[in-house]
Amino acid sequence: MKNILKLDKVTKIYEQGGEALCVLKEASFEINAGEIVALVGPSGSGKSTILHIAGLLDSPTSGQVFMEGRDITSCTDKQRTEIRRHRMGFVYQFHYLQPEFSAVENILIPQMIAGISRKDAKEKALSLLDDMGLKERAEHRPARLSGGEQQRVAIARALANDPTLIMADEPTGNLDPQTADTVFDLLLKRVRTQKIGAFIATHNMDLAHRMDRILTIREGRVSGF
């Protein structure tokens, strides 16, 4: 099975008021292609810190981060941006759609930034919206979409540049249980069919138990299989 993401003995220490605060202590784990992995833990336990390090938004104090076998720990800012743009997709608790653009425009813009022509980007955006059951909502701006529809557009946007890894931080946190299940099912389908990896931080244990594995973070240490 192809390895997508690997953290090897990652430690993160912040300086706070002249004192060292250790948020992560030698965290080690892997995520493979076609696998969806949950990250659970109390509020403030370091879930977002792990996601930020795995997503190249922050750097570890020590340890290494690998993506598809490549050590990406010491990449330059430019290299990090390129990896995030072409190899990673991000989904958050709040959808962060651009309110002045339609659903289809929100999905085609990241593609155009990555160098795809507007014509091809729009064609792919419409295809993704169709997969998400939102073909008829393509020209609607976010304000005219329900919470579940907005989050499905956000997932489509995260998939637009064909990432090998999706990272999500409480992606169903603002949704009712039925809508949360629908959104998760759509995400799971894409992970399975496209053989990408997904790493999802959540407080929803019902959702976590539907994933392939559960990693738990407590007092800076990550456990789970």
Residue type, 144: R
Average pLDDT for 49-61:
90
Position 185 pLDDT exceeds 90: no
pLDDT surpasses 70 at 1: no
- The residue among 187 and 9 whose pLDDT is bigger is 9
CATH architecture of the domain formed by 3-99+143-223: 3-Layer(aba) Sandwich (3.40)
Q: What pLDDT, on a 0 to 100 scale, did the predictor assign at position 93?
A: 72
Rounded distance, CA 102 to CA 89, Å? 20
pLDDT band at 75 (very low <50, low <70, confident <90, very high): confident
How many CB atoms within 10 Å of residue 193?
10
User: Rounded to an integer, what distance in angstroms lies between the CA atom of residue 91 and that of residue 221?
Assistant: 24
DSSP notation for 113-138:
HTT--HHHHHHHHHHHHHHTT-GGGT
Which of the pair, 1 or 180, is modelled with greater confidence?
A: 180
Is the pLDDT higher at 33 or at 95? 33
Closest to 173 measured CA to CA, from 96, 120, 94: 94
Cβ atoms of 68 and 31 closer than 8 Å: no
pLDDT in tens, 122-179: 999 999 898 888 889 999 999 999 888 888 899 899 989 889 999 988 877 777 788 7
Q: Give how far Cα 17 sits from Cα of 20, 45, 95, 160, Å.
A: 8, 19, 34, 42
User: Per-domain residue ranges for the chain?
Assistant: 3-99+143-223
pLDDT at residue 118 greater than cutoff 60 = yes
Q: How many CA atoms lie within 13 A of 89 on its CB side?
A: 26
pLDDT band at 225 (very low <50, low <70, confident <90, very high): low
pLDDT, the chain, mean? 88
Give the C-alpha separation, 200 to 194, whole Å.
Answer: 17
Q: What is the largest CA-CA distance in the chain?
A: 55
Q: What pLDDT, on a 0 to 100 scale, did the predictor assign at position 44?
A: 79
Predicted pLDDT of residue 172: 76
- Coil, strand, or helix at residue 139? coil
Whether residue 67 contacts residue 41, with contact meaning beta carbons closer than 8 Å, is answered with no
With tokens 């993160």, the residue in question is 12
Query: In this predicted structure, what is the pLDDT of residue 37?
Result: 94
